[in-house]
Amino acid sequence: MKYCLKIFSVLSFLLTAACNTPKSCIPVVEVPGKICQPVIALNSDIPVLYQAGFDIYKYSFSGLIAFRNMPDEEETRIVFLSEVGIKIMEFSCKRNEIINTYCIEPLQKKAALKFTRQLLSLLINTPECKSVCQPAASDKNDYFCKLKRGYQIVEIKNGYRSYVLLHEGRNKIASGEYEQNSTPIAITVNMKLKTRIQLKKVENAFK
């Protein structure tokens, strides 16, 4: 019985790998700099503001999320705001470690903070890329990045990212749409427990 279970586990792993990897994928030796970056890669210290919509089960609410890169401190700060600009939560990210630095009392729950850290990890942490290849049949500049968990598909146009898609198994968990050399203009995140988050960039918010 144990032997049969072991064989079944091996076959399941091989089938999952086969489903996740393109059939004809050419390994990339020199990986472009835009590949294997976070969904939100902050290239300057100018803050970026997003209008955020949250759908959790049958509940919906909205607000604002501001991201700011602090190069001197090697830190990224993230602030959650209400629609009228009241600070709700604040987080700090250093070397892919996300720490909560402020939270209003009603949201000081382990589940709420854990959920928010998972969301931010998907958006701003640098993915651990194991290998990169290009689908042979693709007429676009697409790259397939195998990650520690799941994989990332990146489309490059004119030397810049135009689209990013994150997968875990067969599930699409995050996607980002980009204009030339910019942070994403639109992001969609699908998390567990019927949770969907949509972010839309607020242009020129801090100019």
Domain segments of the chain as ranges: 22-201
pTM here is 0.81
Note the pLDDT of residue 22: 56
- Determine the pLDDT at residue 47: 92
Predicted local confidence at residue 204, as pLDDT: 81
**CATH architecture group of domain 22-201:** Clam (2.50)
- 3-class DSSP state of 200: strand
> What's the pLDDT at 6?
36
Confidence at residue 140, expressed as pLDDT on a 0 to 100 scale: 65
The amino acid occupying position 57 is Y
Which residues of the chain fall below pLDDT 70?
A: 1-23, 32-33, 137-140, 193, 207
